[in-house]
Amino acid sequence: MAFTYRETTGAANDVEQEIIDSGGQALALQADSADPEALRAARLLAVNVRTIFVAIQAALPHFDAAGRIISIGSVLADRAPISGISVYAPTKAAIAGLTRNLARELGPRGITVNTIQRGPVATDMNPDSEDFADTVRSLTAVGHYGQPHDVADDVAFLARVEARFVTGTTWNVDGGYAL
């Protein structure tokens, strides 16, 4: 269950905790329900940031001293080459901020925390064959979309023991998007 509240953080947190304590799932999001833009931002925060945070919390008890946390963000956290991303981009910037702070907190345990900020990658949700794709392609230095394996290869590298000294980074895997 997700719900919004406007000002009373303490009361909202109490309700959220009560639901969780009774075995449910809850997410309190601060947003004025009379403001459509605030509600849209709250939904994106729940999906783009909260899910990563909750997944990390669930995984941490199972990590040993060689644990790796690798999040997938977006280069749009740092760049705005197109309009219409003013609500989406800050959620991706939050992932980068979470990465830097968790790296500091978890470093003493030997756990590394990094984010791959992907650029345009050909997926079902982001096809490289639509009209808009020509515009996106023109914004990359390499002139084409990435493929899922391009991101997967870099995740695999960060998961390796050889990357044990890489932490707190945001690694742009974006084909030179909007340089």
Active site residues: 88
SS (H, E, C) the chain: CEEEECCCHHHHHHHHHHHHHCCCCCEEEECCCCCHHHHHHHHHHHHHHHHHHHHHHHHHHHCCCCCEEEEEEEHHHCCCCCCCCCCHHHHHHHHHHHHHHHHHHHHHHCCEEEEEEECCECCCCCCCCCHHHHHHHHCCCCCCCECHHHHHHHHHHHHCHHHCCCCCCEEEECCCCCC
